[in-house]
């Protein structure tokens, strides 16, 4: 299947994770490409979509929010999954973190099949407020490539199952 990974990312961390998601999907035979949700004009030609957003005050970064709102009526027709990247600690590895209310509302509006929260990254010198004052205490990278690729592989397997159901 051809899968689009649309991301909303302010500081690049989630954009990088979209590439890891694409790697996981390609690893089991899907075509996959990542795109900034703000830039995406159409989702024609894609069989499934994964939307990923960095979390800011419990909402996805704008690219992800705008993508879902703009393409809502096309997204309802195809399989959709979501991921969030945020927590600047190891909690996501220890316990599953559910979507925030705002993220859940967006995903529900398109009938999403699942969501996962991954750790985030805060760079040392983000150069904007309040990120710069947060980074004095909280900078670091809690993104886990193995976990992201593993989740994407699971999504890819579900897509293969849907494919064989449709052709059988």
Ligand X SMILES: Cc1cc2nc3c(=O)[nH]c(=O)nc-3n(C[C@H](O)[C@H](O)[C@H](O)COP(=O)(O)O)c2cc1C
Binding site for ligand X (CB under 6 A): 9-14, 54-58, 61, 85-88, 120-122, 130-131, 134
To ligand X, the closest distance from the beta carbon of 159 in angstroms equals 24
Distances (CA, A) of 82 to 4, 48, 115, 126: 12, 11, 5, 25
Kindly tell me which of 139 and 158 has the beta carbon lying closer to ligand X.
139
Q: Write the Ramachandran bin of 82: left for phi over 0, alpha for psi from -120 to 50, otherwise beta.
A: beta
Query: Crossing angle for the helix pair 145-167 and 13-27, nearest 10 degrees?
Result: 50
Report in angstroms how near the CB of residue 102 gets to ligand X at its nearest: 10
Pick the closer one to ligand X by CB: 12 or 150: 12
Between CA 85 and CA 9 the distance in angstroms is 9
Q: How far is the CB of 80 from ligand X (least distance, A)?
A: 19
Looking at the Cβ atoms of 44 and 136, the one nearer to ligand X is 136
Q: Of 56 and 114, which has the nearer Cβ to ligand X?
A: 56
Task: Decide whether 11 or 22 has the Cβ nearer to ligand X.
Answer: 11
Burial (CB count <10 Å: 0-12, 13-18, 19+), residue 110 = buried
Residue 116 C-beta: closest distance to ligand X, Å: 13
**Rounded-to-integer distance, Cα 135 and Cα 122, Å:** 6
Using CA atoms, how far apart are residues 29 and 143, in angstroms rounded to an integer?
24
Measured from the CB of residue 113, what is the shortest distance to ligand X in angstroms?
A: 22
């Amino acid at each position: 299947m051809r899968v689009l990974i649309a991301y909303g990312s302010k500081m690049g961390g989630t954009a990088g994770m979209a590439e890891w998601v694409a790697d996981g999907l390609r690893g089991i035979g899907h075509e996959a490409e990542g795109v900034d949700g703000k830039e995406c004009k159409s989702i024609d030609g894609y069989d499934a979509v994964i939307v990923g957003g960095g979390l800011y005050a419990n909402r996805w970064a704008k690219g992800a929010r705008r993508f879902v709102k703009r393409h809502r009526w096309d997204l309802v027709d195809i399989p959709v999954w979501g991921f969030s990247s945020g927590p600047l600690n190891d909690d996501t590895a220890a316990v599953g973190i559910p979507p925030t209310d705002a993220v859940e509302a967006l995903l529900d509006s398109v009938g999403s099949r699942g969501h996962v929260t991954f750790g985030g990254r805060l760079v040392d010198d983000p150069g904007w407020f309040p990120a710069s004052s947060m980074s004095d205490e909280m900078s670091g990278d809690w993104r886990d490539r193995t976990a992201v690729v593993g989740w994407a592989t699971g999504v890819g397997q579900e897509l293969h199952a849907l494919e064989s159901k449709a052709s059988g």
